[in-house]
Every structure is written in C-alpha cells, then in structure tokens.
Structure 1
Amino acid sequence: MRSLFADTRFRNLFVAQVVALTGTGTGLATVALGLLAYDLAADRAALVLGAALAVKMVAYVVVGPVVGAVADRVPRRRLMVGADLVRAGVVLLLPWVAEVWQVFVLIGVLQTASATFTPVFQSVLPDVVTGEKDYTRALSASQLASSLETVGSPLLAAAALAVLGYSSLFVGTAAGFLVSAALVAGTAVPAVTARAEGGFGTRVLLGVRLFRAVPQLRGLLALNAVVATVGVVSLVTTVNVVRDLLGGSDPEVGLLLAVCGAGTALAAVLSPWAARRASTRTVMLSGAVVSLAAAAATVLVGLHPSWPAAVVAWALVGAGPGLIMVNTGRLLRVSSGLAQRPALFSAQFSLSHACWLVTYPLTGWLTVVAGFTGTWVVLAVAAVAGTVAAVTLWPRTGADLIRHRHDGADHAHVALARWTGRGWVHSHPIVVDDRHPHGPVPV
C-alpha cells in the first residue's frame, strides 16, 4: 500500500476523492441541506429532503450514460475540474435560496456535476494504477475512504455546528471542491488512447450493450440489485430502528451507522487478500452470500429486537455489499478495452443507482405499510432472487478464462495462441473491445 501512495498521481486523485466525499457524502452538505429544508418548509422538511434525494438519483441514472459517451472525446482532467468548479459554485448559492423549487434546481445541477465527476474518476483510476495487485489495493483504499467518510464527516459537521451556523457547512463544502479541483488540475491524467466508434447516440448506449453482451456483467447487474436491496436497510431504516424498535437516542443512531461503515471498511481491507486467493467471481458472490446473511439477520432483529443482534446485522449489512462494491472496478477493467472503458464505468454508475432508485421508495413505503419485519422479509426475498440470478447469469467461464478463436491474423493479440487451421486459438477473460466487438467467439 505504501508503494501505491508513493505514486503522486494516485495520491492526488485519492485526496481529491476524500475531500469531495466529505462534502457530498453523509456529512457537511447533507446535514446543511437538511437544516436548510427545515428552515424553508418546517413540518414538510422531510418531504423536501426526500424529493431532493430523488432528484439526485434521477440525475445519476440519466447523466451517467451521457458522460460515458463524451468521456473519450473530452480531456478527462478537464471534465473532473469543471465538475468540481460547478459543485463549488452551486453549494455557495444554496444558503441564498428563498424558495423550495430553487433547492431542487440547484440540487439537480449539483448532482449532475457529481454524476460527471465520479464515473470519470473511476475510469481514470485503472489507467493511473496499471498493475492488477496495485489496482485492487487502490479500489480497496477508495472504498475504505468512502466507509470512513460515513463515520467521520457527520462528526465534523456536528463539531462545526457547535460553534457556527449551518451556512458555514456550505462554505466548507465549497472549499473542499476547490481543493479537489486544484489537486486534479495538478495531476497528469492519462489521455484516452482509444475511442469508441459510432455517433453520440450509439456511444450513449454502448455501456448498456456491454452489460447485455458480457456474461459477467449481466451477473454484476444482478449483484447491483443485491447491494441496493441490502444496503438500503441501513440508509433508510436506521433512525426508526434505533428510536422506535430499540428505544435508543440520537447519538446511538450515529453509532449504529458507524457499525455499518465499519463492516464496509473491513470488507475493503480484506479484499486485496481475497483477490490473491480467489477469482473475482468467487469474491463477489461471497459478498452476495454475506449480504444474504445480513438480510436474515435483519429479519431476526425485527422478530427479537436487541442491541447485540442489531450490531451484528448492521455490520453484515456493511460487509456484504462492501465486498461486491470494492471488486466491481476489477471486473469492469477486465471486461472492456480502453475504448469501451469510459462508457462501461458510466453505465455501471447509472445502472447501479437505478437499483437504488427502486429500493429507496420501496423500503420507505413498506416500512409504513408492513412494519420492520415485513419490510426486511421482502428485501431478503429480493436479495435471494438477485443472488440466484447472479450465479445463473455469470457462469464460471465468464469469471476465469474462455478459450476462443480469432479468424484474423492479429499476431500482436494472439502471440501466445496456436494456429488450428481455422484460426488462432487462445484464452483470456471474456471482454468486449476492438478485437472482440461481439465478445470472444468460443472454440
């Protein structure tokens, strides 16, 4: 890990990600937005905040494919710096709004910029960290930072509010985005060396077509559903579980959320070790199994509420989806060529958030209609269905190697292949790229 952070490019990008997360994650901007909504709408604040979060998810789903279509045409450093500057400008405007509709407009712009920065950052990382082991460590460090942010940034917001008004949180968030922009601007981001073919419309749909064409990506889509189905338990129900089911206080809400973050952090720490000992398919499906254990544990909490049971359940809720999320980048990297990579990372960003767009309102509605236990039973059944779909859609050959034929004489690509009289035959993971536009042709 030390050698990884010795790379100035990775170190700058990592710090930029951490600074940006502190603003847009669960900390400064989120706390400030909640207080702003209360000032504007009072007893309707929850409705306003919920609608603002819905705007965020819609922006993520819609903007992701568009970003993928332009990320190989526009310098990626310029895209990330521009997104950071837009985000800084928007959060500085938020304290001045006087109407609820203005909040929605500004949040839409803010999240559009975030939906630009994040997938571009994710597509740059494998070009900066080229070694497989180092890239796995980079993904682990990135997920660990995200997990620790869920614990640290709310505490930072609380400390700031103890001495300053909530408007100061917006100023701090803007400063973070400016620091992120400066770090990215000073980093030598590799240029895209290959471009996806076709017009704008074709490129917008390229990532979705890759998910349809590649078996392991179809499995990943099912795993995205598992992550959203299990992870939503922590994000949507924690407050009510602590206050209503366990009889706890507001500080204990933060503690239970911290347990979930610790579970994800543990998954991030263990992922490089697991990646050295098992295939990506095995590691990610293991994350699905842990997610099923988490779903079962939440049902037990509903039937027999207790703090020990809740702590175990929430730790598993963090660990299971964490194992899947940390290793997603590795899977995307080996499933596409350089020309397809920006579109594929953007499609993953969009499709994964589409799953959350379904589970967020579903969980909120079920909690009111069916109670905690009924909600968690439904989510557990959905998680089982997603896991079964992932196992079915992602065959073992999609995780390891597929023996296939090239009819052309691309000797640079088939240097280790043998000639069979009908074509060159060799093996590697399933990938859709310029040499395999429709996927490898199996022998």
Structure 2
Amino acid sequence: MIRREPPPRRSLWANTDYRRLYGAQLVALFGTGLTTVALGLLAYDLAGSRAGAVLGTALAIKMVTYVTVAPLAGAVADRVPRRRLLVALDVVRASVVVALPFVTEIWQVYLLVLVLQSASAAFTPTFQAVLPDLLPDERDYTRALSASQLAVTMETLLSPALAAALLSVLSFHWLFTGTTAGFLGSALLVLSARIPLARPSAREGLWDRLASGTRIFLTTPRLRGVLALDLAVAGVGALVVVNTVNYVRDVLGRPDADVALLLGAHGAGTLLVASAMPTVLERLPERSVMLLGAGALGTGSLAAVALSTTEGSWPAALAIWAVIGTGSGLVLTPVGRVLRRSAHEADRPAVFAAQFSLSHACWLVSYPVAGWLVTASGFTRGWLVLSGLTVLGSLAAIRLWPRRDPRALRHVHVDLPDGHEHLADAEPTGDGGWRHTHAFTIDARHRRWPGSQENPR
C-alpha cells in the first residue's frame, strides 16, 4: 500500500489579503511611532519642565476616549462593511495628524488628540476582530498574533531610531508628516484587501450589544486574569511612555536622540519575545507565558524605582527598559488566543472591543500617576506607585486565572426545555436539570461560569 504524504502546509504569507492587512498595520504603526516621539517633544517645547504633566493629560484624554468609544465600535462593527469603516478611520487619523505641527497652545493638542484617538478607538478593535475570521486555523492565527506583536515591537525599536536619524537633520515637527503618510498608506492597503463581513450578532438592543463584551470578560475567569495583567502592563508601561522624555533630558542630561534610543531599548526586549512566541506557545499554555511576563514587569518596575534613587545611569536605564519590554511582549502577544477561545465567533467583535476598552481603563489609572504625581512628587514616589499597580495586577492574575483551565466544562442547564437541540448529549440530573460537557463560553445559553462542584479539581 502506497502511503500518501499530506499536502504541504500553505504558508501564512501566501494569503494575499493577510499580507495586505499586515502591511497596513505595519505602515500605520511606524507612523504612530514617529508621533509618539514627536508628541513628547512637542509637549516639552510647549511646557518645558512640565512636559510630563501635559503629556500625561493628553494620554489620559486618549484613554478616556478609548474606554468610551471602543464599546460603541464593537456594538456596530457587524452592522457596517468593515473595509469601508477601516479606510474612513485611517483618513480621519491622517487629517488630524497633519494639523499637529501647527499647534501653538496646549489646549489645541488636547483637542486634536481627542479626535485622533476617537478614530483609533474604533479602528483597532475592528481590525483585531478581522484576523480570527480571516485566519480560522489556530496555528495560522497564532503566527499572525506573533507577527502583529513583532510589528508593534519593530515599530518600538526602529521608529525611534528613525526618529533619532531624522531629528539630527530636521525639526521634530516634520515627524508628524511620517504619521500622515503611514495612515494614508494603511488606508490604501486595507482598500486593496478582501475583508470578510462580520457574522451578525444575535443580540438585540443597543445596551445588550454594548455590555455583552464586558459581561463576557467579567464572567470568564481566564479573562478576569487577563484584565489583571492589563493593569500590570499599564502600571510600568506608563512609566516608559510618559516619563522617558523627562528622565533622559532632566536627570541624565542627554539629547533628544537618546529619548528615541531608550524607547528603542524597550522595543528590543519585546522583539526577542515576539520572534520566539509561536514556538513557545506550542509548548507552554498562555497562562504560564503571560504570568512569566508579569514577573518580568514587576522586576523591571522595582528596578526602575531603585534607579530613581540614584543620580541616574544610562546603561542601567537601557537594561531596565529592555526588561520591561520583554515582560510586555510575554503578556500581550498571547492575548488574542485567549480572547478567541473565550467567545463565540459572533461575540468576538464585542470581546475584542471590551479588551481594548478595559485594558485602556487601566492605562487611564496609570497615565495620570506618571504625569501628575511624578511631576509633583518626583520620580521615586511616582514610580513606586506605578510599581505597586504592576505587582498588584500580577498577584491578582495568579489568583483570578485558574491553574486548571480546560476548554470543555461540565455544566448543568435548568432553564431549557426537555428535548432542546442544545441538550442532545445531556443526561438528567434527577432534579429537573440536564448535565453535559462541551467547549464552554459565556453566551445567551450560558450566563454564568460552572462552579467547582460541576468540575471538581
């Protein structure tokens, strides 16, 4: 008997639509990376030593927008063609960024940030929810998640280096031009890709659609653990995003280009993680990988507090920022896999929007601390509070995310009639209920998580 070999596995990169969407993500991210550096320098140009407070306020506005707009986007994402929506949002973002170099007052920065981030709050979760539909195979999706994190990492690593090179010959105002080009390039690539229409949600009523993602998040134990890890990332992440400019300029006394290099060190740590993640996730569960990342985040945050009590060290700062980047990559890269297996296909847009909204609610807590408390009380006290948020989130994740976390759970229904199609393989419990086992997610039929009595450890 002749043994037939299975056909060779089709490469993820052979998918033309995915390549175009990945390209769109890449160019938009590099544009955004230039804006991150330029916005910090714009704040320093307008406010001097109070740049941290200005940047903290701008980022707090960004977080409020993300928290409030993302659920609205998730509620309507299956009602409009996603390709048209993504292109329109890219155009809005490009239009706003082109105006940023011309601002002369701090309030103008705040207004433009509000409009810009409203568009981003609708764009990002919609884009994230497209990938599971475009890539139904879990291995392909895992590779896509790794590639997405790699794109974010490469942006963190290379766009600051690009910014440093440009700053040596140009004013930082010109960096905003790169962002505009990135958003327009993203719009063109999205327009050229075929994006599947979202599966319509069976949920009726605006409130039910708005609240469904958050309800699933707060009811699913592993997602509660993800939320706690979001707090850990936000705590130390705010230290990096908000305080790098003032630490490099005011404590270390180094030039603008070194702001970009220190942010690049943070990206270098994440780069190592993102490139190895597909192999790592084939051997280790998401919980183990993400909790390892939480440990790295806690270590980096405490090291930063210790560094703040000294006169400052450039090599030590580079090492600490790299450790923080490594922890961030370990936590954030597997999140999409966890979300995917925690919701039905029709609920994915709402769950991705909830993750986007709730994670940024954590940043809404940490950004003001990094901006206002550090400005008022100094690096040591402010960074100690941020480190506390990171450690608190890490410990909460260990407790909230069960060590034993199978996909299929045994559970009992008492609210479905005899013979209901969902109970085809169920057995009676003797008290009017029906017990069966399947891959479990929170939905209209399953509104609570099965208890330990139904699934003994």
TM-score by length of 2: 0.85
CA-atom RMSD in angstroms:
3.0
CA distance 1:175–1:385, shift in 2 (3 Å): closer
Give the secondary structure class of the aligned counterpart of 2:31. helix
Distance 2:51 2:320 in 1: 30
The amino acid across from 2:302 in the alignment is A
Residue-by-residue CA offset, 1:69-115 (whole Å, 9 max, x unaligned):
11121121121111011112222344555655444333222111111
Residue 396 of structure 1 corresponds to 403
Q: Secondary structure at the match of 1:276?
A: helix
Distance, in Å, in 2 between the alignment partners of 1:36 and 1:252 is: 16
The letter for the 2-side match of 1:15 is G
CA pair 41-132 structure 1, distance change in 2 beyond 3 A: same
- Over 3 Å counting, the alpha-carbon distance change for 1:243 and 1:173 in structure 2 is closer
Question: CA 1:177–1:391 in structure 2 vs 1: closer, same or farther (change >3 Å)?
Answer: same
2: CA distance between counterparts of 1:97 and 1:310? Answer: 32
1:24-423 alignment, distance < 5 Å: 24=32, 26-27=33-34, 29-33=35-39, 48-95=54-101, 100-160=106-166, 168-246=174-252, 248-303=254-309, 305-398=312-405, 401-405=408-412, 419-422=426-429, 423=434
Give the conservation status (yes or no) of the 8 Å contact 1:86–1:113: yes
Aligned partner of 1:310: which letter?
Answer: A
CA distance in structure 2 between the partners assigned to 1:393 and 1:54 by the alignment = 27
For the residue of structure 2 that corresponds to 1:402, the secondary structure is strand
- Could you tell me how far 1:291 is from its partner in structure 2? 1.6
Residue 323 to residue 94, structure 1, CA distance change in 2 (3 Å): same
Q: CA deviation at 1:233?
A: 2.4
5+ residue gaps in structure 2?
1-8
Partner residue, 1:431:
441
The residue type equivalent to 1:426 in the other structure is T
Q: How far apart in 1 are the matches of 2:371 and 2:110?
A: 21
Aligned length: 437
Deviation (angstroms), 1:237: 2.8
Change over 3 Å in CA distance of 1:5–1:301 after alignment to 2:
same
Q: How far apart are residue 12 of structure 1 and its match?
A: 0.8
- Provide Cα deviations, 1:283-302, integer angstroms capped at 9, x if missing partner: 21121122222223223323
Q: Deviations over 1:309-356 (max 9, x none)?
A: 433322211111221111111111111111211111111111111111
Q: For 1:292 and 1:123, how far apart are their aligned partners in 2? A: 30
Q: Please say which of residues 201-210 and 114-123 is displaced more in the overlay.
A: 201-210
Match of 1:18 among 11, 22, 26: 26
How far residue 401 of structure 1 moved from its aligned partner, in angstroms, is 4.4
CA distance in 1, matches of 2:224, 2:67: 18
What SS class does the counterpart of residue 159 from structure 2 fall into? helix
- What's the secondary structure of 2:437's corresponding residue? strand
TM-score normalized with structure 1 length: 0.87
In 2, Cα distance between equivalents of 1:286 and 1:414: 40
Does the C-alpha gap of structure 1 residues 160 and 336 become closer, same or farther in structure 2, counting only changes over 3 Å? same
Instruction: Output the amino acid matched with 2:436.
Output: V
SS at match of 2:345: coil
Secondary structure at 1:426 match in 2: strand
The 2-side partners of 1:34 and 1:130 are apart by 40
Distance in structure 2 (CA, Å) of the matches to 1:380 and 1:167: 33
Bigger drift between 50-59 and 397-406 goes to: 397-406
1:401–1:385 CA distance, 2 compared to 1 (3 A): farther
Question: CA 1:212–1:235 in structure 2 vs 1: closer, same or farther (change >3 Å)?
Answer: same
- Separation in 2 of the partners of 1:251 and 1:2? 43
Task: Note the residue ranges of structure 1 that are not aligned, 5 or more in a row.
Answer: none
In structure 2, C-alpha distance between the alignment counterparts of 1:357 and 1:46, rounded to whole Å: 15
Q: CA deviation at 1:159?
A: 4.0
Taking only the aligned residue pairs, the percentage that are identical comes to 52
- Whole-angstrom distance in 2 between the partners of 1:355 and 1:335: 21
On the 8 A contact 1:339/1:433 being kept in 2, the answer is: no
